[in-house]
Amino acid sequence: MVRRVILMVIIAGLPWAVSPLYGQTAVHGKVIDRLTREPLELAVVTDARTLKNTLTDKDGQFVLKNVSPADSLFVSFIGYAAKKIKVDLSRAGLTIPLEKGPMDLKEVVISNHSNNLTTSRTLSRIDLNMQPVKSAQDLLRLVPGLFIAQHQGGGKAEQIFLRGFDADHGTDVNISVDGLPVNMVSHAHGQGYADLHFLIPETVQGYDFGKGPYYTSKGDLCTAGYVSYDTRNVLDNNMVKIEGGQFTTGRIVAMLNLLSNHAKEKGQSFYVAGDALYSNGGPFLLPEHFKRYNLFGKFNTEIGANSKLTASLSTLYSRWRASGEIPNRAVAEGYIPSRWGALDSSQGGLTTRTNANIKLTTSLGNNFTWENQAYYSHYYFSLITNFTFYYYFPTTGDEFRQHEVRDMGGYNSRIAQKTVIGNTTFTSMAGAGFRADGISPSELDHTENGNFLAYLQYGRTKELNTNGWFDETVETGQWLFNAGLRVDYFHFYYLNMAPAADTFASKVFSGESPNAQRATVSPKLNVQYTLNSRVQLYFKSGKGFHSNDARVVIANQGYEILPAAYGADLGINWKPAPRLFINTALWYLYLQEEFTFGQDLINQPGGPVQPSGRTRREGIDFSVRWQLNDWLYANLNADLARPRFIDSAAGHRYLPLAPTFTSTAALDFSTKSGWNGGISYRYLHNRAANSTYTLTALGYFVTDLTVNYTRPKYEIGLAVQNLFNTTWNESQFEYISRLKYETAPVDEVSYTPGVPFFAKLKFAVFF
Model confidence band, residue 607 (pLDDT cutoffs 50, 70, 90): low
CATH number at residue 407: 2.40.170.20
Q: Are residues 423 and 528 in the same domain?
A: yes
Based on the domain organization, do 535 and 645 belong to the same domain?
yes
Bridge pairing between strands 180-181 and 326-327: unpaired
CA distance 534 to 247: 49
153 shares a domain with 82:
no
- 159, 14: one domain: no
> Does residue 108 lie in a domain region?
no
pLDDT tens-digit series, residues 454-503: 998 899 999 999 999 999 999 999 999 999 999 999 999 999 998 887 77
Q: What CATH number is given to the structural domain containing 10?
A: 2.60.40.1120
Q: Is the pLDDT of residue 20 over 60?
A: no
d(CA 36, CA 30) in angstroms, rounded, equals 14
Least trusted range by pLDDT, from 5-19, 386-400, 500-514, 749-763 = 5-19
- Provide the H-helix boundaries in 465-519: 503-509
Which of 52-56, 591-595, 642-646 is predicted most confidently? Answer: 642-646
Summarize the confidence of residues 668-673 as an average pLDDT: 95
Cα distance between residue 402 and residue 381, in whole Å: 8
Check whether 367 has a pLDDT greater than 90.
Answer: no
Residue-level pLDDT at 479: 94
Cα Rg, the chain, nearest whole Å:
26
Same domain for 401 and 538: yes
Give the pLDDT confidence of 521-577 residue by residue, as tens digits. 999 999 999 999 899 999 999 999 999 999 989 988 777 899 999 999 999 999 999
Residue 111 falls inside a structural domain: no
pLDDT of amino acid 307 = 94
Q: What pLDDT is attached to residue 24?
A: 45
Tell me: the pLDDT tens digits for 95-145? 999 999 888 998 888 887 755 446 677 778 788 888 777 777 788 999 999
Asked, for residue 29, whether it belongs to a domain, the answer is: yes
**Residue that terminates a domain, selected from 101, 127, 155:** 101
pLDDT band at 349 (very low <50, low <70, confident <90, very high): very high
Average pLDDT estimate for 439-462: 94
Q: Any alpha helices (H) in 131-259, and if so which ranges?
A: 136-141
Together in a domain, 61 and 134? no
Domain endpoint, select from 75, 101, 127:
101
Section 60-66 average pLDDT: 85
Can you tell me the mean pLDDT for 340-366? 95
- Cβ atoms of 272 and 253 closer than 8 Å: no
| 621 found inside a domain | yes
593 and 694: one domain? yes
| pLDDT at 317 > cutoff 70 | yes
Asked if pLDDT for residue 724 goes beyond 90, the answer is yes
Q: How buried is residue 47: exposed, middle or buried, by Cβ count under 10 Å (0-12/13-18/19+)? A: buried
* Same domain for 285 and 184: yes
User: What pLDDT was estimated at residue 603?
Assistant: 54
- Name 733's Cβ contacts closer than 8 Å, sequence gap at least 6: 325, 387, 597, 598, 657, 689, 749, 750, 751
14 band by pLDDT with thresholds 50, 70 and 90: very low
Under 8 Å between Cβ of 595 and 191 = yes
- Total structural domains within the chain: 2
pLDDT-based confidence at residue 26 (cuts at 50, 70, 90): confident
Q: Which of 88-92, 187-191, 289-293 is least confident?
A: 88-92
DSSP 8-state symbol, 203: G
Supply the pLDDT for residue 527. Answer: 95
pLDDT at 680 over 90: yes
Residue 7 lies in domain: 2-101
- Distance between CA atoms of 587 and 567, rounded to whole angstroms? 7
According to the model, what pLDDT value does residue 183 have? 98
Span 731-744, mean pLDDT? 93
pLDDT at 22 over 90: no
The rounded Cα 137 to chain-centroid distance in angstroms is 11
19-23 mean pLDDT: 39
Element holding 137 (H helix, E strand): helix 136-141
> Does residue 417 share a domain with residue 314?
yes
- For the chain, the maximum distance between any two Cα atoms, rounded to a whole number of angstroms, is 89
What pLDDT score does 579 carry?
Answer: 95
CA distance 462 to 560: 18
In this structure, is residue 168 part of a structural domain? yes
164-173, 432-441, 482-491, 509-518: range with lowest mean pLDDT:
509-518
Instruction: Lowest mean pLDDT of 27-36, 249-258, 620-629, name the range.
Output: 27-36
Same domain, residue pair 56 and 141: no
Residue 109 in any domain: the answer is no
CA distance 61 to 94: 9
Q: How far is CA 335 from the centre of its chain?
A: 39
| 693-722 pLDDT tens trace | 999 999 999 999 999 999 999 999 999 999
| Within a domain: 112 | no
28-42, 426-440, 728-742: the lowest-pLDDT one: 28-42
Check pLDDT > 60 for residue 15: no
**How many Cβ atoms from other residues are within 10 Å of residue 565's Cβ?**
23
Q: Are 571 and 543 in contact (CB under 8 A)?
A: no
Which helix (H) or strand (E) segment is 129 a member of?
helix 118-130
Instruction: Summarize pLDDT for 235-292 with one digit per residue, the tens.
Output: 999 999 999 999 999 999 999 999 988 888 888 999 999 999 999 988 999 999 999 9
Query: Among candidates 123, 78, 108, 80, which has minimal Cα distance to 666?
Result: 123
Q: Which of the two residues, 58 and 444, has the higher pLDDT score?
A: 444
Domain boundary among 45, 73, 101: 101
- Rounded to an integer, the average pLDDT of 364-372 is 91
Confidence at residue 114, expressed as pLDDT on a 0 to 100 scale: 54
User: What mean pLDDT, rounded, does the chain reach?
Assistant: 90
Q: What is the DSSP letter of 157?
A: P
Question: How confident is residue 600, by pLDDT bands cut at 50, 70 and 90?
Answer: very low
Residue 347's DSSP bridge partners are none
- 106 located within any domain: no
Alpha helices in 303-375 (DSSP H): 328-332
The answer, yes or no, to whether residue 45 has pLDDT greater than 50, is yes
pLDDT at residue number 66 = 82
Is 122 in the same domain as 97? no
Residues 140 and 97 occupy one common structural domain:
no
Yes or no: say if 182 and 196 are a contact pair by the CB < 8 Å rule: yes
**How far is it, in rounded angstroms, from Cα 515 to Cα 489?**
14
